[in-house]
A and B are shown apart, each in its own frame.
Chain A
């Protein structure tokens, strides 16, 4: 545009500029562009249009397969592959607030009605101005030229997209379909959840999980009763007026227990049957000792959120959307061992590393976490020895490995049965400099490691250290009103506490927009219940030193300590690494 304002430009340049502008305008806004005229897009099936539109919205790819092109901040060209609609407006299209920028909703339902204001609190914070409803024509103007229906300029953080009529029609069709009807499982006065428990988990663990959620739901539903009883009174009105979403306080939370029996291969049909009978808004919690994959896949295919199930075996994926996990489970311990060894790699001088793993779900997950991470860090795979089911790690077999491979680091992904052999290494001439094991796999056995072995045995420990955890226990017990849980049940209570804390914040943030993708969008944007300036917002949860999602993140806890046992009859864990090792 500078070409027109700069008087030093020659008339020839000016003429060329005008021609170029006319050509561009003609191409982008053909004279016969008319909403009623059937576009090429209409020759496609509706399904195909929505699929192509979704790809534009989420991946920034045009129907032609080329990246979408746009300009932000006036002069920064961007390709859709770098960022696109979903980056700011999020998967649900309900928008976001981040880094001081308010991104308004862009789903058809909101676009095609007047925008009053996003929320009364935003009004004091310069929210996008009110506007009349968009039409197809004015929406196309907004997307191409950044002009709203009143002719005002949109914030130039909003990209101006170069789209022809055909592609524009496809994108607009998609926006109209986006978050158009509330997701199933929500009625005027209730939101229904289910929790999945499998019969391999102990009765005690299953009951602890379900009881904890029910306890919280009872609190929440009593709160709804309180508001209903006092509806219209001054105190209730005052409290309501301060809420981001007064609507949610009148909603009851309902919980169904979906118990899965028998082999994991049969879970899917049982889930389908439960879901057919009783569609739920989301799955909450859940517990299994087996791999979570069948439930994970059910959720992906039915687009049902699954909020923080209790499992050591989550699905490890960078792309899947519907299940939010506490962590990568036991896989994350293998990852931590690899990162720790990488962090001291300079001192290892390419000395050998050997991994012994049991052919069990735990052993395989630990090994996968270790090897994938180790190779990802640019190293060669380490020598791996597998113990078959029922095979015991003996002194002899261990000695053979140590003599032939001479490792300076030995990793043993096995249960408590391997501990005597690890301890016996103390007196061995072939003892490696360090031995790694998983605290989750060893369970209580970890604390039994004695004497000299404490000098060279390292454990992966995926929780806050016990000596730092006590105050969180009291906080959880007090909030949940449950004080008689011990051991595994207490850990379950703490996990449920974290799940319902974040859920309550997210439900409040939804402000009556009951779309499942929005629920997940908000989990990504939501850190914790309270900053208070005392702690970091993600440091107030039990079990994990830090617990937070970010947009699109699916594993809340990213860390795992490498620890050793201190000397003495009552050993403590001593950190040998950061929570997250780089």
Chain B
């Protein structure tokens, strides 16, 4: 075997060894979520919702309602199920405020996530009206992820994020970490000025 190929293989195996676990983060050590207030510029992109309808993201997020955004995908393992169970339970616990809050999940695996898959996913979590799931062109999705500081090179490394916005303030509340419903409801109430 020519030495350059051997070298290429060695490099490859070494690289794998380094790249694979490097991004793992210390979830076990983190007890509470991290909350920051951020300024985001929403990109002017058109995405597609679970019904196949085109949706202008800026218009959608400029809603008078409180908007809560997360990034998930339909075949995701550990963190999306927890985020989505959180959204579903939030809808159940928020009571009459259900009509005042718009949950928006955005797929980070848009090529696999067709509107039909998004519909099935929402059904699996027993989503009520007021929770939409968006997919779209991959470049547009990347713009959205970049805008929210949520882009990762590999969908398996994506972040447990919830982003909250109220029309009362131009800024966004960024919650990093998986949160329980009581915390999420408390964050919502604080933002909504209740």
Name A residues whose Cβ lies closer than 8 Å to a Cβ of B.
72-78, 81-83, 87-88, 90, 96-103, 119, 121-122, 125-129, 155-157, 218-220, 222-223, 226, 239, 242-244, 249, 342, 376-378, 479, 481, 504-505, 508-509, 524-525, 527, 529-531, 533, 536-537, 546, 550-553, 558-559, 578-580, 582
Contact = CB atoms under 8 A, between A and B. Distances in A.
A126 B115 contact: no
Contacts of A88: 77-78, 81
B27 A239 contact: no
Interface stretch (B94-102, B150-158, B163-171): B150-158
Residues of A contacting B: mostly: loop
Residue with the greatest number of chain A CB neighbours at <10 A, chosen from B8, B81, B124, B158: B81
A128 B28 contact: yes
A219 B75 contact: no
Given A78-B85, A377-B52, A101 B78 contact: yes
B116 interface: yes
Contacts of A87: 77-78, 81
A530 B78 contact: no
A202 to B, nearest CB: 29
28 contacts: A73-B82, A76-B85, A76-B86, A76-B180, A76-B181, A82-B124, A87-B78, A88-B78, A90-B77, A99-B157, A100-B25, A101-B79, A102-B24, A125-B21, A126-B25, A126-B27, A157-B82, A157-B178, A218-B1, A243-B13, A342-B52, A525-B77, A529-B16, A552-B75, A580-B137, A582-B52, A582-B135, A582-B136
Nearest to B109: A550
Residue with the greatest number of chain A CB neighbours at <10 A, chosen from B2, B16, B160: B16
Given A99-B76, A103-B78, A155-B27, 13 more contacts: A73-B179, A75-B182, A76-B86, A87-B78, A97-B156, A125-B24, A129-B28, A155-B28, A244-B16, A376-B116, A504-B12, A508-B13, A509-B16
A525 B156 contact: yes
A377 B52 CA distance: 8
Interface in B1-27: 1-2, 5-6, 8-10, 12-22, 24-27
Interface of B: 1-2, 5-6, 8-10, 12-22, 24-29, 48, 52, 73, 75-82, 84-86, 88-89, 109-112, 114-116, 124-126, 135-138, 153-160, 178-182
A82 B85 contact: yes
B48 A101 contact: no
A242 B26 CA distance: 21
Nearest to A81: B124
B111 A249 contact: no
Contacts of A509: 16, 20
Nearest to B28: A126
A121 B24 CA distance: 9
A582 B114 contact: yes
Nearest to B121: A82
A580 B154 contact: no
Contacts of A552: 75
B10 to A, nearest CB: 7
Nearest to A538: B154
A253 B71 CA distance: 40
Given A122-B21, A530-B15, A219 B78 contact: no
B28 A102 contact: yes
